[in-house]
Chains A and B, each alone.
Chain A
């Protein structure tokens, strides 16, 4: 593992000076992004289809197994490595970005952290090769931000748990082979207690994929309902202690938030790249738009906010390589980066006018994609509640 082991090393990373291994990941990711993903990104958005070439290329590079330990067939990388990859992928395609992030942060992470040896042996090698793509089922119609209000139940019946209930808004719901699922295993007075975490294979009888949402953006990432109707799951598929599911869910999301922060900063970087090219080629009164003062000022603000977001992201990634659950680092990165990329999208489209507002243009696509980053894996309001608790 290329953990940032000293403060000195961390300081370098937060300043954007990556170690050799992470820099190699970043460079290779950029190549994949530019050569394989970017040429398909508009089509993915238009057709709302699974970004196959993108995920295949990341898988070929071993990056879908980024945080899976080598002994399970994984890449054995750090959170800094993971962020280095996600930043580059999101810079060209936010749908591929979230699919990759959910796979690693919300499915691989809980298995490797809380799973029994049996479960790890069973699933990590398959997740490492993308034979199984991962998803995470926490949200229900009555349990969004209020995730403790889970209605899905899991009853022990012999050596199986029987799951009943419905989840909504599940990323990769259509394509996933493996689901991390939260369900109530007992009725306690405190709603956050009595929830447990399971791993469920997609083809388990009783599990069905429901309605897919039509969304503003990240159109190539499917978002579906997942229904459990007397779905029998082997008892050994319980992840972590029975009744500890809520804490596990929150710890998983805390890590996932850094992935979403990467989505925001990646989008932000893509917008800057697009706007830079536009304002240098477009002229007003005989000079490039880039030299018009109001445009240059806007660009400078976008760059400042982007750089701040990346610094917060690498701060969070280093913290996660050092300790299991660094709340403040992860939530500040997510809050800031998601808000900043939306400001960037709005302002870039303003400068580009209709040219930045027609389909096929990256700024138009990113304007719609950016909007989700303030909503999922904890809304901005939830981040503020969480951050306030750390004071």
Chain B
């Protein structure tokens, strides 16, 4: 329970709703989706019906206006049922929506936020400018001026929701210097999508390359402001959500471990009765709880406004490590069964590893954090 958070009634109700949804709708198909690499279609529709995509965003733009802590709790809950679904949600609700909500003009927000908040349109953020994310050797996307508008050329690598998104916010290098943010419809002429990458974990999430071959973007569809700074802000916000996915995985792994250890009998005892197992429980529990507290602290700071980037990075770093440690230990405690798909914990370990990799893709953020802390 998140009772130490002093949630108001509305938040608590919402949390109960999402927990129930996770249990009933998200969790049951998670193993199958992992095996088949299928996008959580039904789950997505259900989530849209619950109206949770815009939990963090103000009501004026179609959101729920409950802030980032609530958002983090939703992500955590989803991840307890299926981390890949949570990742899909984060790419949509943090990355795509975040860029538009922070940078869009009133007119632009009006145009795009509602369909994103309602979940009618799936969004993605395509990072195609080198400065912010030292991604895996992507050639990047370049925007050149053409009449009133712009033309996009190039590739954005491994975009989450990349092969399916109907609305993409593209961060591209601008010819002649700087970068810009361009909003593109999925069916734009010249927009191509690679097949979803066959990843080790988070297999139901969609990581695909998106290509732009002379995609025209009218001036009205570019987001105003300093694109690098906007993207950095959106990524800071997403770090809290990635920490929430990690915490969700760790909690799921821990809960499953406790249940299993109470059932499994050996040497005339329950597995839960061995000293060594108890020692593992306490290590797993304290790690998970520390990650959870740090997550909530980061999300609360995020609601407070400025100056939460460092704690967000710390929460992500810590939670991702904890998720892997805990999921790894869960596999160990399940023994041979832990190695088999049927018992789910091997999936949690693979998912945790993908979340941990996310930490290094933001090596940039890690360096920034270290520099800030050491004042160098």
A residues engaging B (CB < 8 A)?
139, 142, 144-146, 149, 168-169, 213-217, 282, 284, 342, 346, 349-351, 353-355, 357-360, 364, 367-368, 371-372, 374-376, 379-381, 384
Contacts and interface: CB of A to CB of B under 8 A. Distances in A.
A353 B338 contact: no
Contact of A350 (B200, B340, B360): B360
Interface string B341-352: 110001001100
Given A359-B198, A380-B332, A146 B339 contact: no
A353 B136 contact: yes
Contacts of A353: 136, 357, 360-361
Contacts of B35: 214
Interface in B326-342: 328, 331-332, 335-336, 338-342
B136 A354 contact: yes
Contact of B335 (A284, A358, A379): A379
Contact of B349 (A144, A282, A371, A380): A371
Contact of B339 (A139, A216, A358, A364): A216
> From DSSP, what is the main secondary structure of chain A's interface residues?
mixed
B9 to A, nearest CB: 42
Nearest to B157: A354
B236 interface: no
B7 to A, nearest CB: 35
Closest 5 CB pairs of A and B: A216-B346, A359-B198, A146-B266, A214-B341, A357-B200
B137 interface: yes
B134 A357 contact: no
A381 B356 CA distance: 26
Contacts of B350: 216, 368
Contacts of A346: 324, 353, 356
Interface string B96-140: 000000000000000000000000000000000000001011000
Contact of A354 (B197, B340, B342, B359): B197
B207 interface: yes
Given A216-B350, A353-B361, A139 B199 contact: no
A139 B266 CA distance: 13
A217 B349 CA distance: 12
B307 interface: no
Contact of A349 (B276, B335, B338, B357): B357
Contacts of A384: 276
A371 B335 contact: no
Given A351-B360, A357-B353, A214 B265 contact: no
B354 interface: yes
With most chain A CB atoms within 10 A of its CB, the pick from B207, B324, B335, B360 is: B335
Contact of A364 (B136, B200, B342, B356): B200
B341 A374 contact: no
